[in-house]
Structures are given as structure tokens and as C-alpha cells.
């Protein structure tokens, strides 16, 4: 059994996620998201979809990017 890096739960179905910048062992996708997903610079939610990026800053959607002053970004055309 492996121990979740976020909650500490020992779980026989734990899994490891590796990215170019981080990795960890988790007992659920919820814990993996908590540890690895970027946070929206405007509303502070975890970005679990595509989101938007401008000059290295991540946003969960075009609305949040616009609220932060980003111009020329839309959720759809």
C-alpha cells in the first residue's frame, strides 16, 4: 500500500502522477488536483480544464482573464 502525499491515507489503489515539474502519490484525483493543478490568478479556483494562460499567468476561463485586464481572449469565437 502507498500513502497519499496530500491526506496521508494509506490505500491499496493509490497512483503516482509525474509531470515535468512535480510528482506525487495520491489516493484520489481530488488529492492530485489539490496538489498539482494550477490556481486561477483571479478567482483562486483550481484549474482542472484547459483554462487560459497569458504571459505565464493561468486563469480558469476567459472571464477571469478579462477581469484581470487581459485583452483579446475569448472562451469561444
42-63 pLDDT tens trace: 999 999 998 999 999 999 999 9
Distance separating alpha carbons of residues 67 and 52, to the nearest angstrom: 13
Q: Which segments within the chain are labelled E, that is strand?
A: 2-3, 10-11, 15-18, 23-26, 52-54, 57-59
Alpha helices of the chain — where are they, by DSSP H? 29-36, 62-67
The pLDDT assigned to 43 comes to 98
Distance separating alpha carbons of residues 42 and 53, to the nearest angstrom: 12
Q: pTM of the prediction?
A: 0.81
Segments in the chain below pLDDT 50: none
Three-class DSSP category at 29: helix
Amino acid at each position: 500500500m502507498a500513502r497519499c502525499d496530500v491526506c496521508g491515507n494509506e490505500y491499496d489503489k493509490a497512483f503516482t502522477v509525474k509531470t515535468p515539474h512535480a510528482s506525487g502519490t495520491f489516493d484520489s484525483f481530488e488529492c492530485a488536483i489539490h496538489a498539482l493543478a494550477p490556481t486561477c490568478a483571479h478567482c483562486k479556483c483550481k484549474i482542472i480544464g484547459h483554462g487560459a494562460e497569458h504571459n505565464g499567468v493561468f486563469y480558469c476561463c476567459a472571464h477571469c482573464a478579462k477581469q484581470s485586464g487581459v485583452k483579446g481572449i475569448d472562451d469561444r469565437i
